[in-house]
Structure 1
């Protein structure tokens, strides 16, 4: 395996874990605080991966994404220069890390954000940035 940073999202911290934790956080401030705490659980992203090849276009903040296929699943790592975006990346990692191409294609990230009550708190630029990241992951897993 490559030098992909190991993280707990999608494996030890599942979608249902995050759904439960976020549904218990009342209001945007509590949810935002939780996202920032989750962001702290992401490992240091290798400096050599912070390049244009790994940068996701369409995001206002800088976002780097690494995807690697291993057997029938896709492994992901991500980072951002924004703490809030980094927290939102943990949701993307929980949704798509260590999943099959079919699982990735079939998961509706926007619907999940709506279920969690997060979509209404996202600015247009953050929402568009998340959409760009998810689109990138789906396109890559569809190759």
Structure 2
């Protein structure tokens, strides 16, 4: 994955999403906590996925692709004065909803905040881990590790 220059991310529609800006981690935690069953959590993930912009095919490049995910996932991290801008897309609607959770946790945060945040523990507190297959859990781990690696450079 490459870090793009700052000017491109402000104009890049892939980075125009509400996660981590208009939708806070607390708001998302409350919504997930209120969704008691997997069906309710699944519906919420699908709703969240619809708020992430679809990437044009030309931008779904090999250098943006996350390895270790069963579904195809693309990720970009750009530094900015307000914190890291993070964009992601997937070919799976549920995975795209899970990406919304990741983006809410990490988008517009400092490197220090991103590295310190335990996303897996946060998911466990929301009761999400028990609903995720091993492959989805491994994919989420690969995504968060790639973000943390990128912001550590």
TM-score in terms of structure 1 length: 0.97
| Runs of 4+ more than 2 Å apart | none
Determine whether 1:43 maps to 2:53: yes
What is the CA-CA distance between 1:48 and the residue it aligns to?
Answer: 2.2
Q: Which runs of 5+ in 1 are unaligned?
A: none
Q: Which runs of 5+ in 2 are unaligned?
A: 1-6
Aligned counterparts of 1:38 and 1:125: Cα–Cα separation in 2: 21
1:89 alignment counterpart:
99
1:20 alignment counterpart:
30
Give the count of matched residue pairs: 143
1:101 alignment counterpart:
111
The answer as to whether partners of 1:9 and 1:93 remain within 8 angstroms in 2 is yes
The answer as to whether partners of 2:13 and 2:53 remain within 8 angstroms in 1 is no
The answer as to whether partners of 1:4 and 1:77 remain within 8 angstroms in 2 is no
Q: Tell me, what secondary structure is at the counterpart of 1:45?
A: coil
Mean Cα deviation higher: 70-79 or 122-131: 70-79
1:111 alignment counterpart:
121
| Residues 59-138 of structure 1 mapped to structure 2, 5 A cutoff | 59-71=69-81, 73-138=83-148
Q: CA-to-partner distance for each residue in 1:84-141, whole Å, 9 max, x for gaps?
A: 1000000000000010000000100000000000011100000000000000000000
Aligned counterparts of 2:13 and 2:60: Cα–Cα separation in 1: 12
* Alpha-carbon RMSD: 1.0
